[in-house]
Amino acid sequence: MADHTTQQNTAPAPRPMLGGGRPGMTGGPVAKAKDFKGTVKKLLKRLKPYRIKIAFVLVFALASTVFTIVGPKILGNATSLLVEGLMMRIGGTGDIDFEAIGWIIVEMLILYGMSALFNYTQGFIMTKVSNDVTYEMRKDIQAKVDRLPIKYFDTHNYGEVLSHVTNDVDTINQSLTQGITQLITSTVMIVGVGYMMFSISWQMALVAMLILPLSFGIIGMILKKSQRHFKTQQAAIGAINGQVEEMYGNHLIVKAFNGEQAAIDKFDTQNKKLYGSAWKSQFYSGIMQPIMNFVGNLGYVLVAVLGGYYAATGAIKIGELQSFIQYMRSFTMPIGQIAAQSNVLQSAIAASERVFKLLEEKEETADPSDAADAAVLASRVCFQDVHFGYEEGKTVINDFNFEAKPGQKIAIVGPTGAGKTTMVKLLMRFYDVNEGAILIDGKDIRSFKRNDLRSLFGMVLQDTWLFNGTIRENIRYGKLDATDAEVEEAAAIAQIDHYVRTLPDGYETILNEESTNISSGQKQLLTIARAILANPKMLILDEATSSVDTRMEILIQKAMDHLMQNRTSFIIAHRLSTIKNADKILVMNHGDIVEIGTHQELLDKNGFYASLYDSQFDRVSAAPAALAEAL
């Protein structure tokens, strides 16, 4: 088992964005959706497996709306019966037919009851569909994140990725739950109410219809304005999430360098962008309903005047006028609802576009279908003519050749930027070489599945990573089926067992989210214990003892020597005192191996390594200019 936790540490740790953020960072404001129709098609494709359920939603929504539409017509009949009966009572020619009115009331109750039942049913089904869709979408995002190359996380803000899983997917969920059914019912309501109005009086219906061109013209203008602001708002949310995540994740560094004001200024800039886009999008969304109400009231006044005239002349009955006025109100309401839901759907399309963009990002090359068996490998590692660069045209590793025999301790040293950590990333296939090959027991590492390859290695990095849980759980992460005795034995070898037992809760002590309730050195010891428990075939140690004092470093070095027995180990070191007993030391500079040898052999050469050593220790060298010349 590899130390899977420490593998994750190869992604760059969050750092304060006191300047303009990282190069290549995305998530800034976008003027408008780049592919509105394409995004809608992709979203519809996501809904395709649920088409039967959506069909039921349509049926129930139609039925609910139809029952609602019929209600005012029947209620108008009751009003007409009441008025006619009252007039007959006054004239002495008859009386009010309360029985008929009673049956109409019962009929109304049944209709509205059925409408409410159908409306509830379609809402329940659509809520289930929308939650299923967004559940699958979150799963796909998580799976996608696992398949994305490390390069993606080197150039994207962590908060932006989190925003896809939270804000964007939640926006889609809410829009699917409410927006689609609301559009369906509102559209049916407009058509149905329009039909009922024409059935009562085509003249008044035409007057009422005069508001339609005006209404849709206003809606079109507002949507055109609001579309780009909703898109910008979603992008700004992702950017500000990344800003907040980085600031809170590194608040100690920010404070240590007096970067509070710079962080506040950066946050204010991002916050103002979000504020600007949010208030504009919400403003356009908010004015939709008042404007539609005003337009609706204009039509209502015209209909009231004309209807009063027709009722006075006997062209229509009082009950029909009442029904028409109710329909008029029902007619303007769904127009406003369509306008409001259009804005909601605009926001959903903007969020969908961001999610689909993530899901379509270039992935790591797929594992071979006929992958070689990594379980039978020993630990002979060979770099053959390896060339690599993070960016096209910028080579970091040049014609790298080296062979590590089983059980050897290989130290990699050199100044910052020499390519030391890059070699480890290539070995673990976090990146693939541009040219050449890396072989394990003569087999190209690209012929193995990545998980199988990485299971061969245990990693202990300078940047520790512990999760919110007990100390025992954090150590056991290296081998999930380990017994308590195995966990404690690994801790003893890593020189952390004694300290853990002095804690009130011992191995059951809870580490907080940032692991700030233990020291940096103790965190490093726990990650070393985790790697010891994993018992891998090969080890990668990146300044594994950098966070401990000199006395503890000696104890850990002994434990590490014990751990590295019969294992091929790659040790990235800046403190040259920790690698004196390495079998081979690779001295790197500008992506090239400039020297190879043991510690003493390299000192005797009095070259680049000797100059590095002299820079850390008080030793006189006959070649003091070697280091400066090489750099």
CATH of the domain at 193: 1.20.1560.10
Q: Is 146 exposed, middle or buried (0-12, 13-18, 19+ CB in 10 A)?
A: exposed
Residue 629 lies in a domain: no
With contact defined as beta carbons under 8 Å apart, do 343 and 228 qualify?
no
Q: Residues 417-442: pLDDT tens digits? A: 777 778 888 888 888 888 899 998 88
Residue 240 lies in a domain: yes
- Between 186 and 329, the higher pLDDT residue: 186
Rounded to 5 degrees, φ, ψ at 541 are -120, 115
DSSP state of 510: E
Identify the band that residue 516 occupies on the pLDDT scale cut at 50, 70 and 90: low
- In this prediction, residue 507 carries a pLDDT of 92
- In this prediction, residue 235 carries a pLDDT of 75
Between the two ends of the chain, the Cα-to-Cα distance in Å is 39
* Average pLDDT, integer, range 612-617: 76
Identify the band that residue 515 occupies on the pLDDT scale cut at 50, 70 and 90: low
- Between 362 and 563, the higher pLDDT residue: 362
Q: Residues 236-276: pLDDT tens digits? A: 777 787 777 777 766 767 777 677 787 788 888 888 888 88
- In this prediction, residue 547 carries a pLDDT of 55
Q: Which domain holds residue 252?
A: 129-359
Residue 1 lies in a domain: no
pLDDT, mean over the chain: 77
To the nearest whole percent, how much of the chain has pLDDT over 90? 3
- In this prediction, residue 398 carries a pLDDT of 82
CA distance 420 to 453: 20
Number of structural domains the chain divides into: 1
- In this prediction, residue 556 carries a pLDDT of 66
Give the count of alpha carbons within 13 A of 253, CB side only.
Answer: 12
- What is the separation of C-alpha 40 from the centre of its chain, rounded to a whole number of angstroms? 20
Residue 236 lies in a domain: yes
Identify the band that residue 576 occupies on the pLDDT scale cut at 50, 70 and 90: confident
Identify the band that residue 546 occupies on the pLDDT scale cut at 50, 70 and 90: low
**Total residue length of the chain:** 631
List the strands of the sheet with 409-413, edge to edge.
457-460, 538-542, 568-572, 409-413, 584-589, 592-597
- In this prediction, residue 469 carries a pLDDT of 86
User: Does position 573 have pLDDT exceeding 50, yes or no?
Assistant: yes
Residue 117 lies in a domain: no
- In this prediction, residue 437 carries a pLDDT of 92
- Between 454 and 230, the higher pLDDT residue: 454
For 145-208, the DSSP string reads HHHS-HHHHHHS-HHHHHHIIIIIHHHHHHIIIIIHHHHHHHHHHHHHHHHHHHHH-HHHHHHH
User: Does position 333 have pLDDT exceeding 80, yes or no?
Assistant: no
Q: Residue 597 region, left (φ>0) first, then alpha (ψ -120 to 50), else beta?
A: left
What sections of 484-569 are H helices per DSSP?
A: 484-493, 497-502, 520-534, 550-563
Q: Could you tell me the CA-to-CA distances from 475 to 349, 370, 539, 564 in Å, in that order?
A: 44, 34, 17, 19
Structure tokens at 382: 């060979």
Q: Residues 288-313: pLDDT tens digits? A: 777 777 776 777 777 778 887 777 78
* SS3 assignment for 107-128: HHHHHHHHHHHHHHHHHHHHHH
Q: Is 550 exposed, middle or buried (0-12, 13-18, 19+ CB in 10 A)?
A: exposed
- In this prediction, residue 488 carries a pLDDT of 92
* Average pLDDT, integer, range 510-521: 72
With contact defined as beta carbons under 8 Å apart, do 15 and 259 qualify?
no
* Segment (H or E) for 19: none
Rounded to 5 degrees, φ, ψ at 147 are -95, -10
Identify the band that residue 487 occupies on the pLDDT scale cut at 50, 70 and 90: very high
Residue 221 lies in a domain: yes
- In this prediction, residue 544 carries a pLDDT of 60
* Average pLDDT, integer, range 321-337: 75
With contact defined as beta carbons under 8 Å apart, do 185 and 53 qualify?
no
Residue 584 lies in a domain: no
Residues in CB range of 204: below 8 A, 6 or more apart: 197, 303, 306, 307, 310, 324
Residue 489 lies in a domain: no
* Segment (H or E) for 592: strand 592-597
- In this prediction, residue 501 carries a pLDDT of 92
To the nearest whole percent, how much of the chain has pLDDT over 70? 82
- In this prediction, residue 572 carries a pLDDT of 85
Q: Residues 344-395: pLDDT tens digits? A: 777 788 888 888 888 888 888 888 888 888 777 777 899 898 888 887 777 7
